[in-house]
Amino acid sequence: MCLVIGTLLLLVDSYHRFLPGSSFEDILLAKAAERAFYYLVIPVLIVGLIFRDRPADYGLTLGDWRTGLKWTAAFALLGAPVLIFVARTPAMVQYYDRFPAALERLLPTVALDLVGWEFFFRGFLLFGLLRLMGPTAVVAQAVPFALAHLGKPEAETLTTIFGGTLFGWLAWRSRSFLYPFLLHWFIYSIVVVAAQA
Supply φ then ψ for residue 150, to 5 degrees. Answer: -55, 135
Domain locations along the chain:
29-196
What is the pLDDT at residue 156? 95
What is the pLDDT at residue 40? 98
DSSP string for 10-79: HHHHHH---S--SSHHHHHHHHHHHHHIIIIIHHHHIIIIIS---GGGGT-S--SHHHHHHHHHHHHHHH
> 3-class SS at 100?
coil
121 touches 141 (CB < 8 A)? yes
Answer yes or no: is pLDDT of 63 > 90.
yes
What is the pLDDT at residue 24? 87
Q: Which amino acid is present at 126?
A: L
Answer yes or no: is pLDDT of 105 > 90.
no
Q: Which amino acid is present at 45?
A: L
Q: For the whole prediction, is pTM greater than 0.85?
A: yes
What is the pLDDT at residue 81? 98
Answer yes or no: is pLDDT of 197 > 90.
no
Answer yes or no: is pLDDT of 101 > 80.
no
Q: pLDDT tens digits, residue range 11-41? A: 999 999 999 988 888 999 999 999 999 999 9
What is the pLDDT at residue 124? 98
192 touches 76 (CB < 8 A)? no
